[in-house]
Structure 1
Amino acid sequence: MTLRSLIAQITQQDDVNFLLTNRIPRQFLTRFVGWFSQIEHPLVCRLSIALWRLFAQVDLSDAKKTKFRSMHECFTRELKEGARPVDDDPGVLVSPCDAIIGAHGDIEGTTLFQAKGIPYALNELVCDGELASHYRNGYYVTLRLTSGMYHRFHAPYDCEIDQVTYISGDTWNVNPVALRRIPGLFCKNERAVLRTRLSPGNHLIALVPVAAVLVASIRLHFLDVLLHLKYRGPNVIPCKAPFRKGDELGWFQHGSTIIVLAPNGFKLCPQLEQGAVIRMGRRLLMLPLWKL
């Protein structure tokens, strides 16, 4: 048995996984990793990436470059041109990121589910009653990025982002083990709510990047601030940022979750189901045909 397989066997045990990733000084370690990952030293970089690869499946074959100055540069790597073809069908909204499809389905009034039988409130997630009411009886899909995945996220459709709401919070792990044990987890963690209007159609789609342990930092290209644990405002940031389908919006420092909120009428594309791996640019949600 290799060291990597031994580590995987140990950490796949629910109790051990939960203890190692949650019963630790989460915010302190998150800040430390944020600092440490940006050290630009060849030996530190090589050892850090080697250690990271013991715990995660990391594929650099489609990366724009494979030599990095720091672990942070590897985490936030760009891809080769054409590595993620974007579906240009105007009837579909594409995945904004590489991810594993998590909980998804119809929003029951304003109630969503983070795992089977574990609900949470939409207004607690977005902290905006008016926005929450827009998605009453709508649709949601949870996209979970593992630590080894490509960590940049993109516009799911031609759109304009007109507001970002930053919500400071905790840094619980957001893996399936934690989602089964911590009620309202997504509403506890640091997150941003990107209010996005599609063009044409003017559908109001919300993207909610949720931070996690070791990953409490979100960079958006169209804002001149880094959203992280020490950021203290403003909470609501108006903007007017147009994007084409597939354009890069920003990145997580390491990896986490994006929750996509859509109004009534949107549905998950056929052949997609919970647990499936999806790549950025592939079809995710079907737009309501009567509103195209």
Structure 2
Amino acid sequence: MRRTLYRFLIELTNGRITSYLLRKFAQSRLSAMIIPSYARVFQIQHGEMEKELKDYRTLHELFTRKLKESVRPVDPDPLVISSPVDGVFEAYGPIEESTDFVVKGKRYSLTDMLGSEAAASVYRGGTYIVLYLSPSHYHRIHSPISGVVLRRFELGRKSYPVNRLGLAYGREPLSKNYRVVTEVASEGKQVAIVKVGAMFVNSIELLHRNDALQKGEEMAYFTFGSTVVLLFERNMVEVNPALQRGQQIRVGQRLAVQKRL
């Protein structure tokens, strides 16, 4: 019952007023009262956290916690695309020539997701990967690749649920929700790192503003958890065949390998 309540409050709230009130509560010292219960319900791994559970003053601080440096090693192979988040390997597949792709039986348009046909055309015939973060996951986002940042931009306003029910029955949340896109050039190819909000505007906080990214470098964090979509150009990557849909994955773990030019 308590787990259901937490999921409802954190994942399914999408209105401007209710999201604002929930954020205010999570950022208040009052929210500290439920931290032990929240950590227990979602089985948060205390030993991985940078601080002791009692040292988090608000639920927001727990959501956006950092981890000890040694607990998320990044695959050192320069051709490896590493996971940018702790989460669930929710879906992957080809991007069609029309720049559409299908997740949970629902068709998504890259033109909608990226805001223009010109932006979408870069990834025509490429590959997409969807990674979902639940309330239990570490919420910070790391770069999956080393490269030069081409641009950053925001799209969308309101956000709807991006859990499995949201993906199956929602109003195209991956391409309609508030989202922050970072496009990176690497080894002559391009990848889009699309951070999708699960609640209203400002659920995504950018930390990286430089012109270059190193694999494993911290980029941003989700205030309440959500989804990351990775978009790769045609013939850029091969997805790790050992991964299964629905599998848990961690920051730094091998997602895919870049093909040699």
C-alpha separation in 2, matches of 1:171 and 1:34: 14
Say which of 189, 198, 212 aligns to 1:212.
198
Cα distance, 1:87 vs. partner? Answer: 0.2
Which deviates the most, 254-263 or 155-164?
155-164
Distance 1:203-1:36 versus aligned 2 partners, 3 A rule: same
- 2:234 is paired with a residue of what secondary structure? coil
Structure 1 spans left out of the alignment, 5+ residues:
1-5, 12-16, 224-239
- 1:163 is paired with a residue of what secondary structure? strand
What is the TM-score with the length of structure 2 in the denominator? 0.90
Which deviates the most, 182-191 or 245-254?
182-191
Please say which structure displays the higher CA radius of gyration. Answer: 1
C-alpha separation in 2, matches of 1:35 and 1:281: 32
Cα distance, 1:184 vs. partner? Answer: 1.7
C-alpha separation in 2, matches of 1:209 and 1:154: 11
Cα distance, 1:95 vs. partner? Answer: 0.6
Matched, 1:142 2:154: no
Any idea what the Cα deviations from partners look like across 1:121-170, whole Å, max 9, x if unmatched? Answer: 11101103222101001000000011111110111121222311101322
Q: Residue 246 of structure 2 aligns with which residue?
A: 275
Matched, 1:32 2:5: no
C-alpha separation in 1, matches of 2:117 and 2:153: 13
Q: Residue 174 of structure 1 aligns with which residue?
A: 162
Q: Is the 8 A contact 1:154 1:246 kept in 2?
A: yes
Distance 1:80-1:167 versus aligned 2 partners, 3 A rule: same
Any idea what the Cα deviations from partners look like across 1:49-106, whole Å, max 9, x if unmatched? Answer: 2353465332222011022121111111111021100001122111111110112111
Which deviates the most, 119-128 or 179-188?
179-188
C-alpha separation in 2, matches of 1:78 and 1:204: 29
- 2:118 is paired with a residue of what secondary structure? helix
Any idea what the Cα deviations from partners look like across 1:153-206, whole Å, max 9, x if unmatched? Answer: 1111212223111013222111101211124221221101111112xx132110
Q: Is the 8 A contact 1:204 1:262 kept in 2?
A: yes
Q: Residue 56 of structure 1 aligns with which residue?
A: 42
Any idea what the Cα deviations from partners look like across 1:20-59, whole Å, max 9, x if unmatched? Answer: 964x6632221112222122x3xx2432323534653322
Q: Is the 8 A contact 1:101 1:276 kept in 2?
A: yes
C-alpha separation in 1, matches of 2:9 and 2:182: 32
Percent identity, please.
30
C-alpha separation in 1, matches of 2:2 and 2:159: 23
Aligned length: 256
What is the TM-score with the length of structure 1 in the denominator? 0.81
- 2:230 is paired with a residue of what secondary structure? strand
C-alpha separation in 1, matches of 2:161 and 2:191: 25
C-alpha separation in 1, matches of 2:147 and 2:156: 26
Distance 1:250-1:274 versus aligned 2 partners, 3 A rule: same
Matched, 1:160 2:148: yes
C-alpha separation in 2, matches of 1:18 and 1:244: 36
Matched, 1:112 2:121: no
C-alpha separation in 2, matches of 1:119 and 1:57: 34
- 2:124 is paired with a residue of what secondary structure? coil
- 2:48 is paired with a residue of what secondary structure? coil
Letter in 2 for 1:132: A
Letter in 2 for 1:63: M
Distance 1:51-1:216 versus aligned 2 partners, 3 A rule: farther
Q: Is the 8 A contact 2:49 2:65 kept in 1?
A: yes
Structure 2 spans left out of the alignment, 5+ residues:
none
Q: Is the 8 A contact 2:9 2:22 kept in 1?
A: no
